[in-house]
Chain A
Amino acid sequence: MYEEPLTFESFIQLRRINPDLYHTLEVHRWMTTSMEQLGSSFFASFTGTELA
């Protein structure tokens, strides 16, 4: 269902737009998977250097 990785900002937007969907376990797993797949580009708006 959730195959396309999204950025951190997208998940924060989702929390504002649809909090009930955001607070599901599936979305949190999707967020973790997106972070693993995208790496540093997951944090799209962050341009600093000290990134995990």
Chain B
Amino acid sequence: MDIVELIQSAKARIASNDPVFNEQVSTTVALLRSLGILSHSRTSINGHVHQAFAGALVAAYHNQMDVEVYSRRQDDLHRRGASTRIIAWLDDCVAKGVLSQSNGLKYAKGVLLLSPLLTHYLEYAKVTHHVPIVRMHVKP
């Protein structure tokens, strides 16, 4: 499915407060941040865009689809309401092995497959962990 459509679908899924989906999105954001693909600064401003991008990868995993990039033009992305940063992020995902190219290109174009690293941590995020939640700044 096209990346912009996946992002729109992911935004709706995130808003629906599906706990498994949101856990997988958070894990994917952490994965992308640790690899240096997404920035960890100014997250209060850009965090929702990062969540939507990671959500698109999770939505592709849930729907058993590939991520498709048909246009790398910033103009097309902007017109369709997507962040113009997503091409750079997708290129980084291909470079760092989070997404793999089916056609041998070194950048994001055409059909992109989810890598074993990403699917491993999406499976990992589904596992229920019973841990106490400690809130630092909330008074009892």
Residues in chain A within 8 A of chain B (CB atoms): 8-9, 11-13, 15-21, 23, 25, 28-29, 31-32, 34-35, 42-43, 45-46, 48-52
Q: B30: which of A12, A18, A48, A51 is its contact (CB, 8 Å)?
A: A12
Query: Which residues of B sit under 8 angstroms from A17, Cβ to Cβ?
Result: 131-134
* Contacting residues of chain B (87-140) with chain A, CB-CB under 8 angstroms: 96-98, 100, 115-117, 120-121, 124-125, 129, 131-138
Interface size on B, residues (CB 8 A): 31
Whether the pair B131, A45 counts as a contact (CB closer than 8 A) is no
Contacts A20-B137, A45-B124 given: A8-B34 contact, CB under 8 Å? yes
Query: Which residues of B sit under 8 angstroms from A20, Cβ to Cβ?
Result: 135-138
Whether the pair B117, A43 counts as a contact (CB closer than 8 A) is yes
- Shortest CB–CB separation between residue A32 and chain B, in angstroms? 6
- Shortest CB–CB separation between residue A22 and chain B, in angstroms? 9
User: Which of B13-21, B35-43, B57-65, B66-74 participates in binding chain A?
Assistant: B35-43
CA distance A20 to B131 in the complex (A): 15
Those 5 A-B pairs whose CB atoms lie nearest each other, nearest first: A28-B40, A48-B116, A20-B136, A52-B96, A52-B97
